[in-house]
């Protein structure tokens, strides 16, 4: 944990629960079902969903909600960064191997 003197932000915790729940669903889920699943009032859940939709993290399809492409874009960046780190490490290993052979 970052530090015991820091307090968690409840809105972020609630948002995390909503995103994790949606991430486990195979089809869009309505707001009432999401609220029940994460233990939040429907109004609170809908406010979170609308805010998340503004950033592309979720999207509404007819009367249901699902994860949006905004999260995929973040994951693509994380993946790209990890691949870059892997490539740098592989180059370093190759350099070390060449030096050991000489």
What is the rounded (10 degree) CA torsion for 74, 49, 9, 79? -10
pLDDT 10s digits, 3-57: 678 999 999 999 999 999 999 999 999 999 999 999 999 999 999 999 999 999 9
Quick one: 56 and 73 in the same domain?
Answer: no
Q: How many structural domains is the chain composed of?
A: 2
What is the C-alpha separation between 2 and 87, in angstroms, rounded?
Answer: 29
Residue 59 and residue 88 in one domain: no
46 and 91 inside one domain: no
Instruction: Please say whether the beta carbons of 65 and 28 come within 8 A.
Output: yes
Tell me, yes or no, whether 53 and 85 share the same domain.
no
pTM exceeds 0.85 for this model: no
CA distance 37 to 95: 52
Residue-range definition of the domain harbouring residue 6: 1-67
């Amino acid at each position: 944990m970052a530090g015991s003197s820091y307090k968690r932000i409840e809105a972020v915790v609630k948002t995390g629960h909503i995103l994790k729940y949606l991430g486990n669903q195979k089809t869009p889920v309505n707001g009432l079902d999401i609220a029940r699943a994460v233990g939040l009032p429907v109004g609170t859940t809908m406010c979170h969903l609308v805010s998340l939709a503004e950033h592309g993290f979720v999207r509404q399809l007819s009367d249901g909600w699902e994860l949006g492409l905004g999260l995929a874009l973040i994951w693509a960046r994380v993946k790209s960064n990890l691949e870059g780190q892997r490539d740098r490490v592989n180059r370093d290993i190759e350099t070390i191997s060449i030096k050991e052979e000489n």
